[in-house]
Amino acid sequence: MVRNLFLVLVCFYLGADYEVASAKNPAKINSNKIVDRSENNAAQMEGITFEESVVAAYNNNPAWFGSQTENKVAEEYYKQSKLMFLPSVEASVSTSRKKQKYDEISDDEKATSTEVGISLTQNLFNGFSTVNTMRASNNSSKAALYKLKFDEQDLIIKVLEAYMSVWAGRQKVVALKKKEENLKNTLNSQKSSLEFGVGTPSEVAFAGANYQKAVYERINAETELSAAKAEFERLTGLTADRELGLPRLSIELPKNLNDLIVVALGCNNSILHYRFAEQAAFDELNVARGRLSPSCDLRLEADRNLPKGGSSKTHGRNTYSASLQVRIPIFSNSPSSGNSYSAIAIANQKALKAEFSAQNAVLEIKKECIVNWNVYISANAMIQSSRSAVKSAELSSAGNLEESSLGLKSNTEVWDKENRLLESRIDLVNSKKQKIIAGFKLFALTGKLNLYSVLKKK
């Protein structure tokens, strides 16, 4: 009875399905039923799902609200630039009071004059500054849109990293606590052996060092888990006090690294952001150059004079005028725009900087593709290796329990085997975490990661 109870507790810590057999088969583990409970569908668990975390981040993250505001500002600038093609229309109203004093015999003459006017000014040519300004605003708006999409992907990845850190951290802490308990028991066993003259001081010292290392690993894991919970709460506004399920990969990745790079170079949001920012910078350079070109404005005016009183013959006078104004810049040094040649030089340097940033973005994305692809492949291989190690350690641990019950194995050997099993399970959890994060990063590099793709189910 005690042996079966101990087996149940061991299997509970190891996360494996177990069955208590009859007395003829006291410790039988069905390897076909050994599953990882963390692989259960998150939607069927009473806890926080990854999808729920992402939605909460969309609704509670101030940084995401700031990214949306930047995009809206860029859109308003583009709308404003399109209005520059329309004429400027102004209406004016002026009133004057006039008094003339004659000799002592004549009466004084008093007159009130009211003048109403309307004017229309239409730019006909300005060195294509208006066209280039609209193009710059349009490209800036597109750059802001792709930056918003990049920030959206970055938010999802950050939520995923915090979510997976909490998920993996909890399992790691549980395993390390059990490992610490086993090493403490090993240390006590070595001390007892030394008292009876069986063990040696070096064995006690070695067991003590292993125990202290396990204590450090457990404390460090708990610290990392606390930090992951705090980051998760900062991003989503949710407290990670409920169970977290393992996210399902419902995404499609390119077949190989070369396909990934081709797709990323054409669709990556970061690259598109810098490319449109580069185009906008060169449009701004053309705007600055256009200030040196002649400009032509058409102005139409209509005035109505409505005097009251007096003897003037201009009562009810209407005035119409049309003018065509051509301006040729010779030297400009205004406080608002500065020197035209200096403005061109500044715009040229900004355009060069934007060009270099776009080139660097391409190189950076290529590097991210290579790194994350290798991490994904490595993590996938590590999962297979860890699963084999877990299965082997489970069988070895079960065998040690049987031999221990028969007196063929010492408790120290049983604890050592169990520690190896715990370490294998930690490796499996870490490799799953790396694979999922790397997979989502690869999907983000293709420009397809967004809220819709996260919520979409196969």
Q: Which of 5-9, 336-340, 437-441 has the least mean pLDDT?
A: 5-9
Q: Is the pLDDT of residue 283 over 80?
A: yes
**What is residue 16's predicted lDDT score, i.e. its pLDDT?**
35
277 burial level (CB within 10 Å; 0-12, 13-18, 19+) = buried
Instruction: Give pLDDT tens digits for 79-120.
Output: 888 888 888 888 988 887 776 665 555 555 667 778 888 998
Least confident of 140-144, 341-345, 359-363, 404-408: 404-408
In a domain, 281, yes or no: yes
The predicted model gives 394-406 an average pLDDT of: 60
Ranges 257-261, 272-276, 386-390: which has the least confidence: 386-390
Q: In the chain, what percentage of residues exceed pLDDT 90?
A: 37
Q: How confident is the model at residue 302 (pLDDT cuts 50, 70, 90)?
A: confident
215-244 pLDDT, tens per residue? 999 999 999 999 999 999 999 988 888 888
Question: Does 372 lie in the same domain as 450?
Answer: yes
Tokens of 291: 């200030």
pTM of the model: 0.76
Whether 369 and 436 map to the same domain: the answer is yes
For residue 30, give its domain range.
1-35
Domain harbouring 414, CATH code: 1.20.1600.10
Inter-residue contact 282 to 118 (CB < 8 Å): no
Quote the number of domains for the chain: 3
Contact assessment for residue 16 and residue 8, using Cβ atoms and an 8 Å cutoff: no
Domain check: are 55 and 70 in the same one?
yes
pLDDT for 36: 34
Residues 282 and 426 in one domain: yes
Count of CB atoms within 10 A of residue 95's CB? Answer: 11
**Would residue 359 count as lying in a domain?**
yes
Q: Identify which of 184, 246, 219 has the alpha carbon closest to the alpha carbon of residue 439.
A: 246
**pLDDT tens column, 190-201:** 888 777 777 788
For residue 399, what pLDDT is reported?
A: 58
Answer yes or no: do 300 and 267 share one domain. Answer: no
Query: How far is residue 122 CA from its own chain's centroid?
Result: 45
Is residue 355 domain-shared with residue 285, that is, in the same domain? yes
Contact between residue 113 and residue 307 where contact means Cβ atoms under 8 Å apart: yes
Same domain, 437 and 399: yes
> For the purposes of burial, counting CB atoms within 10 Å of the CB of 265, is it exposed (0-12), middle (13-18) or buried (19 or more)?
middle
Model pLDDT, residue 46:
62
Average pLDDT score, the chain: 80
Over residues 9-60, the pLDDT tens digits come to 333 333 333 232 333 333 332 222 222 333 444 333 468 889 999 999 999 8
Bridge partners of 122, per DSSP, are: 298
Q: Is residue 219 part of a domain?
A: no
More confident residue, 34 or 377: 377
**Does 65 share its domain with 15?**
no
Confidence tier at 154 by pLDDT (50, 70, 90): very high
Closest by CA to 350, choosing from 293, 290, 283, is 283
SS (H, E, C) the chain: CHHHHHHHHHHHHHCCCCCCCCCCCCCCCCHHHCCCHHHCCHHHCCEECHHHHHHHHHHHCHHHHHHHHHHHHHHHHHHHHHHHHCCEEEEEEEEEEEEECCCCCCCCEEEEEEEEEEEEEEEEECCCHHHHHHHHHHHHHHHHHHHHHHHHHHHHHHHHHHHHHHHHHHHHHHHHHHHHHHHHHHHHHHHHHHHCCCCCHHHHHHHHHHHHHHHHHHHHHHHHHHHHHHHHHHHHCCCCCCEECCCCCCCCCCCCHHHHHHHHHHHCHHHHHHHHHHHHHHHHHHHHHHCCCCEEEEEEEEEEEEEEECCCCCCCCEEEEEEEEEECCCCCEECCCEEHHHHHHHHHHHHHHHHHHHHHHHHHHHHHHHHHHHHHHHHHHHHHHHHHHHHHHHHHHHHHHHHHHCCCCCHHHHHHHHHHHHHHHHHHHHHHHHHHHHHHHHHHHCCCCCHHHHHCCC
Considering the domain boundaries, does residue 185 fall inside one?
Answer: no
pLDDT of the residue at 274: 95
When mean pLDDT is compared across 148-157, 226-235, 394-403, the lowest value belongs to 394-403
Contacts of 418 (CB under 8 A, 6+ apart): 10, 14, 178, 182, 397, 400
Query: Does residue 249 sit in the same domain as residue 310?
Result: no
Q: Are the CB atoms for 424 and 390 separated by under 8 Å?
A: yes
Of the candidates 111, 225, 242, 213, the one whose C-alpha atom is nearest the C-alpha of residue 171 is 225
Better-scored residue on pLDDT, 213 or 392: 213
Residue 217: inside a domain: no
CATH number at residue 101: 2.20.200
| Category of 326 on φ-ψ map: left (φ > 0), alpha (ψ -120 to 50) or beta | beta
Same domain, 309 and 390: no
**pLDDT-based confidence at 314, cuts 50/70/90?**
very low
Q: What is the pLDDT of residue 30?
A: 29
Shared-domain flag, residues 82 and 108: no
Res. 311: pLDDT tops 60: no
